[in-house]
């Protein structure tokens, strides 16, 4: 039986511990956050009653990435100080109950990080606190974008062909998120991501899921800047591993 969804889509947590993880381990933190929430849901609701918008399982055929994104939220130094759970399709009462009960996340070698819920609401509620929840025509990588589908040989014949093939993949995935969304006009590649002088390239990031047997067409990734035809509201994450912190973008002021 489907559970009624609320208009609430996002929950933001403050993260406490020493040392705190860095943005290079975004996907590890995202996976750890999901595991912690799944464990909390099992304890509260039982194994057979985990809200599907949190688990990502047993979703309808028309689901368009409406289930949970588990997003690390770094400070200007690239230290993950907050976590954002974003469910575009809305949170059920059981999902809200689960998230509000969360107090710890197990990370790394059995290290426990404490979390404190700062707020629940629409993504725009956190616009003043984080560029993940901003609104802009210009969005810039915080973590590498990994294209989710295999590239065909013609795409490798020239830099321009590769650019167009990647742009087509970005647009395809974006269109699948829903109707009436602003068009992706273009993108440009960035040499690195600057966190207070700490310049990170894609190879500095962990770029692989813990789950075995997944098809991963892109193992290197790239840092990019997306330009849309009209302002887009965050959070925004695209590509392989986007539900766990890869392909994560921050809003920037249009230049």
CATH value at residue 120: 3.30.70
Q: Are residues 32 and 110 in contact, defined by beta-carbon separation less than 8 angstroms?
A: no
Per-residue model confidence (pLDDT) at position 194: 97
DSSP label of 49: G
Q: What is the pLDDT of residue 62?
A: 63
143 shares its domain with 231? yes
Residue 217: band (very low, low, confident or very high) from pLDDT cuts 50, 70, 90: very high
58-62, 125-129, 209-213, 226-230: segment of lowest average pLDDT: 58-62
pLDDT tens-digit map of 64-116: 678 999 999 999 999 999 999 999 999 999 999 999 999 999 998 778 999 99
What is the span of the domain harbouring residue 91?
10-125
Answer whether residue 178 is part of any domain: yes
- The average pLDDT across 192-197 equals 97
**Mean pLDDT of all residues belonging to the chain:** 93
Angle 247-14-94 from CA coordinates, rounded to 5°: 85
Residue 220 is classified by DSSP as S
Candidate from 141-145, 207-211, 230-234 with smallest mean pLDDT: 207-211
Whether residue 4 lies inside any domain: the answer is no
| Beta-strand pair 104-107/111-121 | antiparallel
Of 105, 125, 145, which marks where a domain is finished? Answer: 125
Two tokens at 194?
């600057």
Residue 254: its pLDDT value, please?
57
Beta strands, E only, the chain: 10-16, 69-74, 80-86, 104-107, 111-121, 135-141, 184-190, 193-195, 198-200, 223-233, 236-237, 248-252
- Give yes or no: residues 17 and 109 share one domain: yes
Residue 225: pLDDT band by 50, 70, 90 thresholds?
very high
What does the H/E/C string look like for 146-212? CCCCCCCHHHHCCHHHHHHHHHHHHHHHHHCCCCCCCCEEEEEEECCEEECCEEECHHHCCCCCCCC
The percentage of the chain sitting over the pLDDT mark of 70, rounded to a whole number, equals: 94
Number of domains in the chain: 2
Q: Distance between CA 53 and CA 6 in Å, rounded?
A: 12
Using only C-alpha atoms, the chain has a radius of gyration, in whole angstroms, of 18
Do 97 and 141 fall into the same domain? no
CA dist., res. 99 & res. 101, Å (int): 5
Q: What average pLDDT does the segment 180-197 reach?
A: 97
């Amino acid at each position: 039986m489907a559970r009624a969804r609320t208009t609430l889509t996002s929950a933001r947590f403050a993260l406490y511990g020493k040392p705190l993880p860095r943005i290079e381990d975004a996907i590890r933190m995202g996976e750890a956050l999901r595991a912690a929430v799944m464990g909390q849901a099992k304890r509260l609701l039982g194994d057979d009653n985990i809200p599907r918008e949190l688990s990502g399982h047993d979703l309808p055929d028309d689901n368009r990435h409406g289930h949970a994104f588990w997003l690390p939220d770094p400070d200007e130094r690239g230290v993950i100080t907050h976590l954002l759970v974003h469910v575009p399709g809305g949170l059920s009462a059981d999902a809200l109950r689960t998230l509000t009960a969360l107090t710890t996340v197990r990370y790394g070698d059995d290290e426990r990080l404490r979390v404190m819920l700062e707020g629940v609401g629409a993504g725009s509620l956190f616009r003043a606190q984080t560029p993940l929840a901003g609104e802009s025509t210009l969005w810039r990588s915080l973590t590498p974008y990994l294209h989710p589908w295999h590239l065909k040989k013609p795409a490798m014949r020239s830099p321009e062909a590769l650019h167009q093939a990647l742009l087509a993949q970005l647009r395809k995935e974006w269109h699948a998120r829903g109707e009436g969304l602003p068009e992706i006009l273009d993108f440009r590649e960035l040499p690195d991501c600057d966190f207070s002088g700490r310049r990170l390239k894609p190879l500095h990031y962990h770029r692989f899921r813990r789950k075995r047997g997944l098809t991963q067409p892109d193992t290197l990734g790239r840092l990019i800047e997306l330009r849309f035809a009209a302002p887009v509201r965050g959070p925004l994450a695209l590509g392989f591993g986007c539900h766990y912190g890869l392909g994560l973008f921050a809003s920037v002021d249009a230049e």
